[in-house]
Chain A
Amino acid sequence: MVHRQLCDYKTGIQIEAEEWWDMYKIVKKKSLNPTVSFMEIDAPFIAKKAEPGQFIILRVDENGERIPLTIADFDREKGTVTIIYQIVGATTKKLDSLNEGDSLQDFVGPLGVPSHTEGLKRVAVIGGGVGCAIAYPIAKKLHQSNAVVHSVVGFRTKDLVILEDEFAAVSDELIIKTDDGTYGTKGLVTDALKQLIERGEQYDEVIAIGPLVMMKFVARLTKEYGIKTTVSMNPIMIDGTGMCGGCRLTVGGETKFACVDGPDFDGHLVDFDEAMERSSMYRDFEKHHYEAACHLFDKA
């Protein structure tokens, strides 16, 4: 329990009770597929300001590292922020060991620049894997502003498909691809996007969010057609406020800090190969910690 004595800045109502906010409590948790989970976190200040495309940094516990996760949704009334994460390493595994009613150690945001969606009338939103969790709120916002939204979402296999109904609700057309063809149509998101473009669809912009390699190939494809493409970058971060440069990328030949200048960038200007190399910096350390964490949790 933490003392929060600010008044609600929108309504101006002073909150009398000192312990009105149970810090970063997990109010809802569900599993979306075997490796991807959804959590709704009590964080009223962040919920009030969050916009699609922004992210939070969290720490699970006292010894925890700081990890960035994009805000998947928010509820300004309830004061909650939704995160959707894939269990890929020690920290996400530890995060997933928490349940409704538990609290996170730290949860800070909203960070980064919100996605620009103003003025877009026809957009293709491309999501890959857990990146769909970030693509969804953008598709939703575009849909709410009456843009035509074509969503292409890709997964490795049927069991990993997430947010299908949600995407369907905000898309004028939804194409689901799986690598192995167990659901939707077989193939990559780039195949589907190419078909849409060749069919004569005119897009103001393509927004691609997913693994670096996917975004790289989407950007390569759209460059051929001269379609503006925005990608959401996900480099290694520590503070997320611009004080360390751990998240730096080369964009159009210049060094940018993804946490303050991004995470959205022009996909035709990003040096993806460098970004992919930089993400692998701590691969050995992470592997070691993941194995240690698995060992720990499996025993427990």
Chain B
Amino acid sequence: MPNMSLHKNPMPVQEPDVRNRNFNEVALGYTEEQAVDEAERCLNCKHKPCVSGCPVAIDIPAFIQKVKEKDFEAAYEVLNRSTSLPAVCGRVCPQETQCECKCVRGIKGEPVAIGRLERFVADYHMAHNTKDAQIPKPNGHKVAVIGAGPSGLTCAGDLAKLGYAVTVFEALHLAGGVLVYGIPQFRLPKEIVRKEIENLKAIGVKIETNMVIGKVLSIDELFENGYEAVFIGSGAGLPRFMKIPGENLKGVYSANEFLTRVNLMKAYQQGSNTPIQNARKVAVVGGGNVAMDAARCAKRLGAETVYIVYRRSEAEMPARLEEVEHAKEEGIIFKVLTNPTEITGDEHKFVNGMRCVKMELGEPDASGRRSPVEKKGSDFTLDVDCVIMSIGTSPNPLIRNTTKGLDTNRHGCIITEEETGLTSREGVYAGGDAVTGAATVILAMGAGKKAAQSIDEYIKNK
């Protein structure tokens, strides 16, 4: 008899005013009992609508069935057929707009907590698995992957499972892309990312860090090295600024810089040699998940006041609802319909305030979005000593500038065939934020997966 509760089993979490002073994971994960009880809520639908919501098409009812049977390793096997990073996805996917929004149980009541169950199974496997990974039989072909973020790692994992010798080239000193420099420890512990990457290495994926493709080797040189296909998963890491006065004052960061210092360089830890400003009052400009991450990190670093400054209203915020709620619980103050016009500094050129105007939403434009309009005479100053710009990123121009014949659009995004991920260059595929501009981890993984299939077909038919 299924569990007919209308509600998900709640996720145990750290209390808000405890967690906003540490970098430990906020959500603590299901116990075995909670996981089995939640799994019982799945009706095992024949037509599996949830699967259609998952960009990597995990056989969701099948893995949940194994959780019901308490055969957690078998559940992991089901996940492993479709995803290379289940412990990551279970944590950071916006399930409410993907698998869970298609769940039949969500029509009346809450959907099955698919993400939490995926996370549980992956964590269980990490804690209990003692078997060595099976290295797939080599097929004698070599593929290069540029960028060790979610799309590159997924592509590499899928190709390795098919027997390809895959080398991933990563510019930073650690693999993981946004999973290590962007998403903070308290949402995604770096130990989890490290273990997922160890799993990939165990099936034969080679990861070369400190290799900036476009500088140290070009794509053409990769082909000369015997790689038969290349996947570009270099992301969208170039930060945008507002071009308002005072943006180069001391205490103004891009969210990328702030989060890289905190997450990748561990500036929050004693013993790290990388400094970060000891800010008291912080304004984070923007309303996406990155803005929420930056604001919550600033709070944890000891800031007394942290504002989110966003030019539209809360309803338009691109951040996940859960992230917005978590931020509010932790004491982040939301200043919506507010737009910065100038950052002001003291005599030593440190930030001492931010001039803002109030906004109101105008008529819907052609795209149906109501664009914000400045309210005359509504300007005021926010008392801050640090400003973090989180208004989006674009693809880094390095690869497109050093690769002949690689077509990009006017935003600098690589142009690919929708179905295959093929670029304008034979044998060169691309996916993730390098193609779409800044999007989500799971979409990048979906693109990596699709490109792996295309690369396999391309090489087999050569």
Contacts and interface: CB of A to CB of B under 8 A. Distances in A.
Interface in A97-111: 105-111
A286 B237 CA distance: 27
A165 B271 CA distance: 41
B241 A9 contact: no
A286 B251 CA distance: 16
Contact of B265 (A7, A107, A238, A245): A238
A74 B396 CA distance: 27
Interface string B239-274: 101010001101101101100110001100001111
A241 B401 CA distance: 13
Interface in B189-204: none
A277 interface: yes
Contacts of B92: none
Contact of A63 (B221, B260, B272, B396): B272
Given A63-B271, A243-B237, A278 B212 contact: no
Interface residues of A, number: 47
A152 to B, nearest CB: 31
Interface in A213-269: 238-239, 241-246, 248-250, 255, 260
Please tell me the size bucket of the interface on B.
Answer: 35 or more
Nearest to A257: B238
Given A3-B206, A45-B216, A285-B275, A241 B248 contact: no
A260 B243 CA distance: 19
A107 B171 CA distance: 11
A281 B257 CA distance: 14
A116 interface: no
B257 A246 contact: yes
A170 B212 CA distance: 32
Contact of A107 (B167, B210, B243): B210
B224 A109 contact: no
B71 to A, nearest CB: 36
The secondary-structure label for the interface of chain B is loop
Given A241-B212, A243-B260, A245-B239, A59 B173 contact: yes
Contacts of A249: 248
B51 interface: no
A94 B173 CA distance: 19
Contact of B215 (A5, A6, A49, A90): A49
A59 B460 CA distance: 41
26 contacts: A7-B226, A9-B217, A9-B221, A9-B224, A65-B272, A65-B273, A65-B274, A66-B173, A106-B209, A107-B210, A108-B211, A109-B215, A110-B215, A110-B216, A239-B171, A241-B237, A243-B238, A245-B239, A245-B256, A245-B257, A246-B253, A250-B248, A274-B248, A277-B250, A278-B250, A280-B250
Given A7-B226, A241-B212, A242-B238, 11 more contacts: A65-B265, A65-B274, A107-B210, A108-B216, A109-B216, A110-B216, A242-B396, A242-B398, A243-B396, A285-B275, A289-B273
